[in-house]
Structure 1
Amino acid sequence: MASVIVVDDDQYLREVLSFMLERLGHTVTAAGSPTEALTVFESQRFDAAILDWSMPGMTGGELCEQIRRDPAVADTPIMILTAYADQQTRDHALAAGADQFMTKPLTLAELSSSVEALVNLRG
């Protein structure tokens, strides 16, 4: 299966997403902040990244932009996951370089199909 990084400042949501992904057979690395995620990206590569939109210090969109600027990890498929379902947030996430945009809450089936689609972007 895939190697996935989950970046969310909410520990409970980070643990739930990690549990769901591990249940699907993926290897998960969890980061509690965008800064922590950037440090992890310095030494690890992932088949997919799931970024929360609303985080202190740096949004998921800003983190996505930083990932896209780093040639070593720029091709990582990225999903923005957020409670905001408005078109403006969706547009900002996609403009930042996200491959997918999903709103919370989500089901195990939705997560499974979305991560599979992300991983397939890499070929």
Structure 2
Amino acid sequence: MTNAQILLVEDDAALAELIAWHVEREGYGIEQTGDGEEALLRVAESHFDLVLLDWMIEGLSGIEVCRRLRRMPETRGTPIIMLTARGEEEDRIRGLTTGADDYITKPFSPRELVARIAAVLRRTRPAVNSERLQYEGLEMDLAEHRVRRDGQAVPLGPTEYRLLRYFLEHPGRVFSRERLLDSVWGQDSEIELRTVDVHIRRLRKAINLGERPDLIRTVRSAGYALDGEGVA
């Protein structure tokens, strides 16, 4: 699996360190905060593949953080695992209906938590464990470094290839230009934001192969997403 980045929102320092140790041992990157408002700022500034979210945190509650993450275009599809001491059925239902992908009641085994993280990432990052990424007839062979759409070869430059791979690893997710710049070009890149638009146009032209439906959706004031609702 590619190295997933995780945000841990937990105000119990001892528990946070224990979780971080087990998560990092599995090869994941992790950042920590115990504050709900700061968690929202972190996800606005950096890309995370998963959020571990304690329900009972100071200030903004975990359930409200979850609700706001689901309202933001950039994080609408980010998987969330709720961590909480509230084990009643009504609480679990509330957490899940608010938008959590999984719900773990304290106390829990760190090994179980790591297993749950892996399971959620498998569901939300399709095919990252294989050598092929696929979406709506679009196929990327990671071993051969080839791309095809409906069986027809799609020639791509190195940057467009990296951009498409990132989209294929997160289908349906909306990414801002800033997020794409950091994730595809690197945080130290001095490339201007408008360069992202240039490469998006090149990628769109290459994969649409003429009159085929546009698989890249432009979300006004938000960014871009790989999904089937693009404009033909």
**TM-score with structure 1 length normalisation?**
0.93
Structure 2 match to 1:29: 31
- The alpha carbon displacement at 1:3 in A equals 0.8
| 1:42 correspondence with 2:47 | no
Pick the aligned partner of 1:7 from 2, 6, 9: 9
> Which of the two has higher C-alpha Rg?
2
Gaps of 5+ in 2: 127-232
Structure 1 match to 2:74: 72
Aligned partner of residue 45 in structure 2, secondary structure: coil
Structure 2 match to 1:90: 92
Aligned partner of residue 42 in structure 1, secondary structure: helix
Structure 2 match to 1:55: 57
Q: Distance in 2 between matches of 1:35 and 1:45?
A: 16
Q: Distance in 1 between matches of 2:38 and 2:21?
A: 20
Alpha-carbon RMSD: 1.1
Q: Which amino acid aligns with 2:37?
A: T
**TM-score with structure 2 length normalisation?**
0.51
Provide runs of 4+ in structure 1 moved above 4 Å. none
- The alpha carbon displacement at 1:107 in A equals 1.7
* 8 A Cα contact 1:77 1:122, kept in partner: no
Q: Which amino acid aligns with 1:122?
A: R
Q: Distance in 2 between matches of 1:58 and 1:122?
A: 28
Q: Distance in 2 between matches of 1:20 and 1:99?
A: 20
List per-residue Cα deviations over 1:75-119 (Å, max 9, x = no partner).
100000111211111011011100000011222321121001121
* 8 A Cα contact 2:10 2:34, kept in partner: yes
Q: Which amino acid aligns with 1:59?
A: S
Q: Which amino acid aligns with 1:12?
A: A
